[in-house]
Chains A and B, each alone.
Chain A
Amino acid sequence: MSARPTEGNPLRAFVAQVWGSIFRHGLPTTDKVAARTALTNFFLHIHPVRVKKSAIRVSYTLCLGGLSFFLFILLTISGLFLMFYYIPSVDQAYQNIKDLQFVATFGLVIRNLHRWAAHGMVITVWLHMARVFYQGSYKPPREFNWAIGTFLLLTTLLLSFSGYLLPWDQLAVWAITVGTNMAKYAPIAGPYTRYLLLGGRNVGQGALIRFYVLHVVALPLIGFILMVIHFWRVRKDGFTGGL
């Protein structure tokens, strides 16, 4: 549809102008139009205009990288809903989760979705790493993107780990106690690292607010920045394609 107003009906012309100002090109009727649409759309621009057919075969990618990103978006949205109800205080957190389960409309489903998607993301990111290794896609010129991928895997694990504490139930507190005890064993820095992470010697209010801030702000931001670089490099280095 053109951005230029058409003759006759002024309302149609106005609608055409608004539509044309938002979407600069129409639906992908031909390859040429499809290419232009992809080039002029912010969201579609994440992809190159053309790729090797073998590079996007589902049996080749298994959709694992894409699914990891999809789960990240799903977790961000469901996490936002949970944030409306959750207060990171040792006196209120557990009751907030109970309220989510039994009082808030769809609260239970959103919490379940957030929990299972988080486990799912750990699995898909890990499998994506395995897929990339088995296909040798980390080889030059993609060495550094593999390193970024490693940090993304670590960020995913830390995101999941920091979220584990938030329900403030027995499972949460003791899993974090066991997990952070591992950090204690590092020579010299170990005990300080644990103290820094927990904001104290035990898992208490200090730990809860630290984990909360890490979980909802710091780690998603780090993950997002790493993802942007990861995707940009995938585009710039080109797709590997079939073996």
Chain B
Amino acid sequence: MATTVDGTPSETGDGASVPVNRTTATGVRTPRPRGTGPELAATPLVVRRREEEETVVTFPALVWKEFLAGLAAFVVLLAVSIQVNAPLLQRANTAITPNPAKAPWYFLGLQELLERFPPVMAGVAFPSFVIIFMILTPYLDRNPSRRPQDRKVAIALFTIYMCLTVCFVVIGVFFRGMAFNWDWTRILGHPGVKPAV
């Protein structure tokens, strides 16, 4: 259905533009207010709304959803916080280096790269490249379509990047032991050795 700017449904059916009727019943044309918003448009703006583009008022429709999502997140976090304590090791001692010494988990991907590439590459070039490439993504991706079937290359590349990131973090957290060497035993335990009770 087509609606004119002021929200009144047009009577001439789909797509036809209807001039705004500025003539009163007595036939006297009312003066057009100059320089105000849509009045300047030569033909009235026609807003076409397809069935799937139905709109709702954000208050309460959206606010209610946000409230529920926030409440659920808070309840989950509170439950976790009551059950699981945040880690606190011994007081900092610069004389004792823990083995392995690990960065926070979200930087373990970088630490993993540092094990494999020259430091200038892993510590500076790669992260800088990722950040700059991320910022430039919308300007480099010239494909106007948002539909997944039209964006196979972009989605494939991004998915590979995401998988690599997750893999590096998982490896860093669970599979790196002494001196950051590969270590299955952190997850699987030592073969043939029963854990002491």
Whether A240 and B139, one on each chain, are in contact in the complex, defined by CB atoms closer than 8 angstroms, is: no
Closest-by-CB residue of B relative to A189 is B124
Whether B59 and A53, one on each chain, are in contact in the complex, defined by CB atoms closer than 8 angstroms, is: no
Contacts of A49 in B (CB 8 A): 57-59
Whether A173 and B151, one on each chain, are in contact in the complex, defined by CB atoms closer than 8 angstroms, is: no
Whether A137 and B146, one on each chain, are in contact in the complex, defined by CB atoms closer than 8 angstroms, is: yes
The secondary structure that dominates the B interface is: helix
Whether B66 and A90, one on each chain, are in contact in the complex, defined by CB atoms closer than 8 angstroms, is: no
Whether A185 and B92, one on each chain, are in contact in the complex, defined by CB atoms closer than 8 angstroms, is: no
Whether A116 and B120, one on each chain, are in contact in the complex, defined by CB atoms closer than 8 angstroms, is: no
Q: How far is the CA of A84 from the CA of B155 in the complex (A)?
A: 47
Whether A48 and B58, one on each chain, are in contact in the complex, defined by CB atoms closer than 8 angstroms, is: yes
Contacts of A52 in B (CB 8 A): 53-55
Tell me the minimal C-beta distance from B151 to chain A in angstroms.
6
> Is B73 part of the binding interface, using a Cβ–Cβ cutoff of 8 Å?
yes
Contacts of B73 in A (CB 8 A): 67, 70-71, 120
Category for how many chain A residues contact B: 35 or more
Category for how many chain B residues contact A: 35 or more
Whether A138 and B107, one on each chain, are in contact in the complex, defined by CB atoms closer than 8 angstroms, is: no
Tell me the minimal C-beta distance from A186 to chain B in angstroms.
5
Question: Which of A3-11, A141-149, A211-219, A221-229 touches B?
Answer: A141-149
Q: How far is the CA of A202 from the CA of B94 in the complex (A)?
A: 9
* A residues at B contact (CB < 8 Å): 28, 31, 34-35, 37-38, 41, 44, 47-54, 56, 58, 63, 66-67, 70-71, 74, 90, 94, 97-98, 101, 108-109, 111-117, 119-120, 122, 130, 133-140, 142-144, 146-147, 150, 154, 157, 160-161, 164, 167-175, 177-179, 182-187, 190, 202-204, 240-243
> 14 new A-B pairs (CB below 8 Å) besides A70-B70, A136-B154, A142-B138?
A28-B57, A34-B57, A52-B54, A53-B54, A63-B66, A109-B82, A116-B77, A133-B137, A170-B89, A170-B96, A175-B103, A179-B107, A182-B114, A185-B120
